[in-house]
Structure 1
Amino acid sequence: MNTGLKITTFAVALAATFGTAYGVGQGVDPVVADGPPRHEDDHPGPSPERAEPGRGHAGHDTPPAGGLQISEGGYTLDLKTPRVTAGRRADLRFTVRDAAGRALTAYQREHDKELHLIVASRDLVTYRHLHPTRAADGTWSTPVDLPRAGGYRVFADFTPAAKDAGNLTLGADLAATGPYRPQDLPAPSAETTTGGYEVELAGRLDPGRASELELKVSRDGRPVTDLQPYLGAYGHLVALRAGDLTYLHVHPNGEPGDGSTRPGPEISFTATAPSAGSYRLFLDFKHDGRVHTAAFTVRAGGTAPATDTPQGHPDGGHGHGH
């Protein structure tokens, strides 16, 4: 067998191996694209330890990326469960540590919780919005059941109780072992369905510039006008950039009881994309006592999504941990 044939044979065998199973320790470090973007929402601004912001489109400053670092601002996400088995319920445990290595036990409450935990697959098909419980020693835990093998990213969104502390989103890699079948990012669309509800998306996600996104919730063709507050709002929106999973956590414009925000059918958000590219949007809303998640793929800096291809809910259902 000549050298060229040997190399080709090895490459084919390697590709077959990775297409069949996702083994232990296959978490992939994030790849940062388009400079150092960060989510822009209603959280406090970046801490002094962050890199200087880059320049966005149309001359706007683009803040550094969120969720791409395991340590930031003197705090570190210590993920004690770096791997689980796909399809099996497991206890996900982690600790947030300060610069001295001590477990953080004092947090500011934001949207009814001390910490919000997001788990998403790297292909952005599986999504979980969890709210773990904290033990007295600072260890957080929550049950999780990931339906598919592959690489996942864990995001801890929190604000320390320390004076002048800003909001942080720390990220760490998680591997789910088992037979691995990669999936493509769902196609862009302005309509989706979840649990018997139809959700329509209007507006654009613009790079480096704040823009409004409006989501309208209906059921059986009728607008839903009695959405229930969920974590202090009528809806929560998380956006993740395809490729490196840059994290944006945006909140609605207005809140229940402010005298002007109606309980549906529209939920309005203001968001800024850190760069052009594809993003996956996950909307959580509550109705009739249940939380539902609607997912969309959008392209920032591109054309508006089509309206004829419903995308469905995220893989595996809701998984909110409530």
Structure 2
Amino acid sequence: MTHATGASQGLARGLAAEQDGYRLNTATCGVPAGRPTAFQFTVTGPSGAPVTDFAVHQTKKLHFYAIRTDLTGFQHLHPEMADNGTWTADLAALTPGTWRLYADFIPNTGPHAAELVLSRTVTVPGEPAPVPLPAPADTTTVDGYTVTLHAQPMSGAHQLTATISQDGHPVTDLQPYLDAYAHLSAFHEGDQALAHLHPANAVNGDHGGPTLTFQALLAEPGNWRVFLQFQTAGQLHTAQLTVHVD
């Protein structure tokens, strides 16, 4: 079972700027190329006023993602909010092209409040240099770690497991990251629908791994670009894989 914070946890979503009366508002539809940007936005509620009360989920009040249309340049940030409800996300430099920016949050309206993911696109000026999506693969390496995905997910619910090793040895010292031993973000090729998942494994100090089990709720068939984030010795690692869903 995943760490569910709403009825739609894990389902592909996040392609609208407004849902259930909540709206993602950005100060600009463009972002400069090649340099870090303090990107500002607000979330307004059904009353039309900026929301300032957010529930903490996965240790944060809001998660912010950025990805280019070719599914490169992934960023997962935790912005700061001013008293007036204005959030500032410190984006690393973006390359030219069209990017989708996502805000993932739960309004603090009670124990049954649903998790929402809203998004908007922004344009980064310049001549885009699209990167072809890498072919589907079961294994990748990052920072000396080998990450292997087991089982081919089908659209809808299906179990997916990830195994992490280093120099051929199982890794058993994963540290908690966002209240879990990993965070998996997946973006659908073409429309950039977002799914994010957390392993079912119980957290017990710095003793995670080597196998993490996810309930892979990837609602649409096709290729998904998967970003698996995990932490060891205080360092965050991000493994990237393409997964094909039939």
Aligned to 1:27: none
Q: Mapping of 1:117-128 within 5 angstroms?
A: 117-128=64-75
Larger Rg: 1
Q: 1:223 aligns with which of 170, 190, 194?
A: 170
| CA distance in structure 1 between the aligned counterparts of 2:89 and 2:148, rounded to whole angstroms | 32
Q: Deviations over 1:47-94 (max 9, x none)?
A: xxxxxxxxxxxxxxxx98511110001100012242212221111111
Q: Deviations over 1:271-302 (max 9, x none)?
A: 1221211111111100111111111101101x
Aligned to 2:91: 144
Aligned-residue offset at 1:237: 0.6
Runs of 4+ more than 3 Å apart: none
Q: Deviations over 1:81-115 (max 9, x none)?
A: 42212221111111100122211011111110011
Q: Mapping of 1:174-193 within 5 angstroms?
A: 174-193=122-141
Could you state the TM-score of these two structures normalised by the residue count of structure 2? 0.93
Aligned to 1:69: 16
Aligned to 1:58: none
Q: Secondary structure in 2 aligned to 1:192?
A: strand
Report the number of matched residues: 243
Contact 1:41 1:271 in 2 (8 A): no
Q: Secondary structure in 1 aligned to 2:165?
A: strand
Contact 2:5 2:57 in 1 (8 A): no
Q: Deviations over 1:222-278 (max 9, x none)?
A: 2211011111111011111110011111111133139xx951111111112212111
> What amino acid is aligned across from residue 268 of structure 1 in structure 2?
T
Worse overlay, 249-258 or 120-129: 249-258
Aligned to 2:149: 201
Aligned to 1:98: 45
Aligned to 2:104: 157
Aligned to 1:293: 238
Aligned-residue offset at 1:198: 1.4
Provide structure 1 residue ranges, at least 5 long, that are not aligned to the other structure: 1-39, 47-62, 302-322
| CA distance in structure 1 between the aligned counterparts of 2:38 and 2:175, rounded to whole angstroms | 29
> What amino acid is aligned across from residue 196 of structure 1 in structure 2?
G
Q: 2:225 aligns with which of 271, 280, 285?
A: 280
Q: Mapping of 1:221-300 within 5 angstroms?
A: 221-257=168-204, 263-300=208-245
In angstroms, what is the RMSD of aligned CA positions?
2.0
Task: Select the structure that is richer in helix.
Answer: 1
Q: Is 1:44 aligned to 2:12, yes or no?
A: no
| CA distance in structure 2 between the aligned counterparts of 1:185 and 1:236, rounded to whole angstroms | 21
Aligned to 1:30: none
> What amino acid is aligned across from residue 204 of structure 1 in structure 2?
Q
Aligned to 2:29: 82
> What amino acid is aligned across from residue 176 of structure 1 in structure 2?
V
| CA distance in structure 2 between the aligned counterparts of 1:81 and 1:235, rounded to whole angstroms | 32
- The percent of aligned pairs where both chains have the same amino acid is 37
Aligned-residue offset at 1:147: 4.2
Contact 1:41 1:248 in 2 (8 A): no
Aligned pair in 2 of structure 1 residues 299, 250: CA closer, same or farther (>3 Å)? Answer: same
| CA distance in structure 2 between the aligned counterparts of 1:43 and 1:111, rounded to whole angstroms | 9
Contact 1:146 1:176 in 2 (8 A): no
